[in-house]
DNA sequence: ATAATAGTGTCTTTTAGACAATATCAC
DNA sequence: GTGATATTGTCTAAAAGACACTATTAT
């Protein structure tokens, strides 16, 4: 980095959030409806300016909490949060030069955001429908990148558990994979695979019955974060 | 994105480059020696301000060309270039608020940068030695992230060919894997694996002799970019 | 009993890894 | 020839995928 002493062009820096969840048997994303121009009335990813003295991840964490009440981390009431990518084409915002550091948040199914205050226009949308309609700025590309990142990371990490409540069944975890990937998986092979990967799942010793059928064992996410060997989507 | 009309804090935005190559049987990184404070005389990743009206990838491409003469893309005289991650802790630069969008560049072995002009202080360093000595700002963390990204991507993409000249032998490709991963690989199993992955390698029909031993077949990179199934570093 | 879901076992095909054997060069 | 590297082939162990079968619940 060699600085030109004084003269450097000023930028606005924002964080945008691709917040994904599995709700109602579908992959959904949190979107707000813009109240101002440009793109007034059009859906957009939630986001906002990074403040002075605030780090990028901290800004994303603040936005996440403001929109969903969730905090970063693992466990109850927490979401997985990671940096996704940065978008800075010169014309992406017609008003000024804005660089947006997009973050990816994955959370278990959440209730509809409370209608009131800042989050008035926030809602969960099925991802495919969100991508079919118009999105403000370059948010369609950002959303696509976020979904693709999530799909890819299910293959080689234990990230799918971020879409589950702290305790969950193997079926629930399988549904997450099936919904995010859009592919059916063999329940028996899936069960053998996840339970035989050391450190992936931790047995609570308890079971839950949900409708007819044998009650399922309850698991917690284990310590392992990377899967060796990975799960694969295609042969 | 909801803008606060006028008041947003101004940032400087830079691109930093983690330019990696395989030279002299080692993974090497391009570093410059800083001429000014802070960190005068300390090594740093090459980089600079993003200009007005210039995209992030374009800025990285410009920096890459300035420092190495390489352009982005595939083929002769070209390097693979992708965005790595963005670093924006408030105190990462003592002078002002700087957000750096780091990029990863992978190139075949290159000659020493010409000593003269801006690149006066640029040189290829073995990565392990670079990480052992001090690096300016948070560049040690950026370099570590870049190396880890490169190592990971060799597993599930054909990116290793970016470290090779346009035409190369299977041995050369294997040496790339061995050097980047730091693990020896069985030449026979490696050969079978890469030649049997459809679209990975394209046979030129020609061979080259290098020292004693049977001449090796010359290949080009094929059209496939993602490897299914991936190569794995560990069992 | 019947239907539904959970979980185990078994078999086949594919792939990874170890390593023998052959091919083609420099010397 | 000898030594070096390239390439093919063979064998074994591990993993993936298909699917029969048992277990435990609601109705």
H-state helical runs in B136-228: 139-156, 170-181, 187-196
Q: Do B140 and B161 belong to one domain? A: no
**Same-domain check for residues B217 and B101:** no
The answer, for B117 touching chain A at a CB cutoff of 8 Å, is no
Domain boundary among A155, A181, A198: A155
What is the token pair recorded at B127?
A: 């990565």
How far, in Å, CA of B191 to CA of B133, rounded? 37
Tokens standing for B72?
């982005």
Residues B76, B140, single domain; the answer is yes
Q: Which residue of A has its CA nearest to B121?
A: A2
| Close Cβ partners of B1 (under 8 Å, ≥ 6 residues apart) | A14, A16, A34, A44, A45, A46, A47, A48, A98, A100, A136, A137
Mark the ranges of chain B whose per-residue pLDDT is less than 50. 1-5, 119, 235
What confidence tier does A232 reach under pLDDT thresholds 50, 70, 90?
A: confident
A54 and A147 fall within a common domain: yes
Q: What share of chain B is helix, strand, coil (3-state, %, to 5)?
A: 30, 30, 40
Pairing of strands A43-44, A12-23: unpaired
Element (H, E) at B67: helix B56-68
pLDDT at B1: 46
Report pLDDT digits (tens) over B19-39.
999 999 999 999 999 998 899
Q: pLDDT tens-digit profile of A91-106?
A: 999 999 999 999 999 9
Instruction: Give the range among A1-15, A66-80, A219-233 with minimum mean pLDDT.
Output: A1-15
pLDDT at B37: 87
Is the separation of the CB atoms in B90 and B97 below 8 Å? Answer: yes
The protein footprint on chain C, as nucleotides within 7 A of a CB, is: 3-10, 14-21, 23-27
Clarify whether residues B144 and B51 are in a common domain. Answer: yes
- Count the neighbouring beta carbons within 10 Å of the beta carbon of residue A197: 16
Q: What is the pLDDT of residue A234?
A: 56
Nearest nt by C1' to B209 Cα: C25
The reported pLDDT for the residue numbered B102 is 99
Query: What is the extent of the structural domain holding A143?
Result: 11-155
Q: What is the pTM of this model?
A: 0.94
Provide the pLDDT confidence category of residue A2 given band limits of 50, 70 and 90.
very low
Residue B89 CB neighbour total at 10 angstroms: 17
Question: Within the 160-219 window of chain B, which residues sit less than 8 Å (CB to CB) from chain A?
Answer: none
CB contact under 8 A, A101 and B88: yes
Give me the pLDDT at residue A229, please.
79
- pLDDT tens profile A126-156: 999 999 989 999 999 999 999 999 999 999 9
CB pairs below 8 Å between A and B: how many? Answer: 126
């Amino acid at each position: 980095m060699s600085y030109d002493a004084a003269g450097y062009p000023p930028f606005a820096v924002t964080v945008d959030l691709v917040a994904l969840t599995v709700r109602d048997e579908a992959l959904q994303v949190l979107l707000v409806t813009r109240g101002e121009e440009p793109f007034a009335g059009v859906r957009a990813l939630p986001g906002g300016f990074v403040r002075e003295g605030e780090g990028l991840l901290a800004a994303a964490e603040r936005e996440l909490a403001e929109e969903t009440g969730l905090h970063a981390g693992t466990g109850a009431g927490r979401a997985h949060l990671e940096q996704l990518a940065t978008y800075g084409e010169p014309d992406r915002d017609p008003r000024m030069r804005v660089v947006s550091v997009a973050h990816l948040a994955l959370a278990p199914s959440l209730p509809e955001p409370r209608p009131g205050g800042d989050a008035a226009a926030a809602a969960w949308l099925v991802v495919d429908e969100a991508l079919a309609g118009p999105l403000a700025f370059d948010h369609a590309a950002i959303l696509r990148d976020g979904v693709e990142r999530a799909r890819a990371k299910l293959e080689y990490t234990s990230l799918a558990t971020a879409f589950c409540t702290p305790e969950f069944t193997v079926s629930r975890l399988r549904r997450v994979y099936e919904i995010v990937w859009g592919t059916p998986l063999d329940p028996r092979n899936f069960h053998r695979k996840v339970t035989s990967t050391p450190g992936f799942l931790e047995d609570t010793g308890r079971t839950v019955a949900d409708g007819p059928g044998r009650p399922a064992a309850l698991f917690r996410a284990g310590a392992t974060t990377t899967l060796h060997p990975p799960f694969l989507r295609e042969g």
